[in-house]
């Protein structure tokens, strides 16, 4: 076990134990505009949980960490809690300026040092994601021309009226941007992709950009039906295959 992970598991969890296997914790992400992040953990029965959004993301490098401020329901004590930089980045991106946002986030909602709790919370995962008002996918901060890739994906979803072709030149820069976009860690983790298909409402965040899931699916179909599939074989053969296989399997399970 790495030193960073050992230190992460050694830090005291800032909340009491869950009262039963049918309870979960929700993260109330308080509004803010500065670097500080304030969250409150609220314990609820999954049977009567209020509306919440479930975050789908990857933890990222466990050695790169940031601190957030955590309180628990009914307590006025604020504790510093260490999270990965990618989790911190997701919290900052999802934080509203003027109101609280209610989320389920595995790194915060589950006591990672409690093996029994982890096991029964994992068994609830399908229900947690399917019951969420929406699933929020966080791909990470912008980089490697991700804004260009997203702009192209969005134009494929909604091309300019009165045109028969897209305005973007199919340059090497664009192709590299698309390759790098779909090589982000989230697209290579089958289990996080599975989470998305458990919800009917999903939105993707990458840096400051937002992307609908339907735009992603429409881009996939555009890619398969054009010569671009030869320039982006990874997108077709890897991520695309995961999407279709997982969607088919989860849909079949849901209908039984």
Task: Encode pLDDT of 167-207 as tens digits.
Answer: 556 688 998 999 999 999 998 876 666 778 788 899 999 99
Q: What is the pLDDT of residue 225?
A: 81
Give the length of the chain. Answer: 256
26 and 109 inside one domain: yes
Q: What is the pLDDT of residue 222?
A: 84
Question: Among 106, 138, 170, where does a domain finish?
Answer: 138
Instruction: Give a yes or no: residue 10 inside a domain.
Output: yes
28 and 91 inside one domain: yes
Instruction: Give a yes or no: residue 204 inside a domain.
Output: no
- The torsion region of residue 54 among left (phi > 0), alpha (psi -120 to 50) and beta comes to beta
Q: What is the pLDDT of residues 86-96, one digit of tens each?
A: 999 999 999 99
CA 132/CA 128 separation, integer angstroms: 6
Radius of gyration of the chain from Cα atoms? Answer: 20
72 and 165 inside one domain: no
121 and 243 inside one domain: no
Domain that holds residue 111: 3-138
132 and 42 inside one domain: yes
Instruction: Give a yes or no: residue 207 inside a domain.
Output: no
* Mean pLDDT of all residues in 8-12: 65
Q: How confident is the model at residue 26 (pLDDT cuts 50, 70, 90)?
A: very high
Instruction: Give a yes or no: residue 127 inside a domain.
Output: yes
Give the pair of three-digit tokens for residue 159: 């091309």
pLDDT at residue 248 above 70?
no
Q: How confident is the model at residue 162 (pLDDT cuts 50, 70, 90)?
A: low
157 and 125 inside one domain: no
131 and 154 inside one domain: no
Q: How confident is the model at residue 255 (pLDDT cuts 50, 70, 90)?
A: very low
The H-or-E segment that residue 152 falls in is helix 146-157
Neighbour order of strands in the sheet with 65-72? 79-84, 65-72, 38-45, 23-29, 101-104, 53-56, 134-138, 202-206, 209-212
Q: What is the pLDDT of residue 86?
A: 96
pLDDT at residue 242 above 60?
no
> Helices 213-224 & 240-254, crossing angle to 10 degrees?
120
Question: Among 97, 119, 138, where does a domain finish?
Answer: 138
Contact 149, 193 (CB under 8 A): no
Which stretch of 16-25, 161-170, 218-227, 236-245 has the lowest confidence by average pLDDT?
Answer: 236-245
CA 236/CA 214 separation, integer angstroms: 17
Q: What is the pLDDT of residue 33?
A: 85
24 and 120 inside one domain: yes
150 and 124 inside one domain: no
Domain count, the chain: 2
Q: How confident is the model at residue 124 (pLDDT cuts 50, 70, 90)?
A: very high
């Amino acid at each position: 076990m790495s030193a960073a992970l050992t230190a992460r598991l050694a830090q005291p969890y800032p909340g009491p134990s869950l009262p039963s296997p049918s309870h979960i914790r929700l993260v109330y992400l308080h509004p803010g505009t500065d670097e500080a992040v304030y969250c409150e953990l609220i314990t609820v029965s999954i049977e009567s949980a209020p509306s919440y959004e479930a975050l789908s993301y990857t933890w990222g490098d466990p050695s790169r960490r940031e601190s957030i401020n955590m309180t628990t329901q009914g307590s006025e004590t604020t504790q510093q809690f260490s999270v990965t930089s990618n989790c911190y980045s997701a919290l900052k991106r999802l934080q509203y300026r003027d109101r609280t946002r209610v989320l389920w986030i595995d790194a915060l909602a589950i006591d990672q040092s409690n093996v029994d709790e982890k096991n029964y919370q994992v068994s609830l995962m399908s229900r947690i994601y399917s019951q969420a008002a929406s699933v929020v996918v966080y791909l990470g901060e912008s980089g490697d021309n991700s804004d260009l890739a997203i702009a192209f994906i969005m134009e494929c979803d909604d091309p300019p009226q009165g045109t028969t072709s897209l305005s973007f030149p199919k340059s090497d820069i664009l192709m590299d941007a698309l390759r790098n976009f779909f090589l982000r860690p989230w697209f290579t983790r089958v289990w996080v992709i599975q989470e998305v298909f458990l919800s009917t409402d999903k939105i993707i965040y990458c840096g400051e950009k937002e992307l609908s899931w339907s735009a992603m699916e429409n881009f996939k179909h555009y890619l398969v039906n054009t010569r671009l599939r030869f320039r982006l074989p990874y997108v077709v053969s890897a991520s695309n295959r995961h999407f279709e296989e997982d969607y088919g399997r989860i849909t079949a399970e849901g209908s039984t």
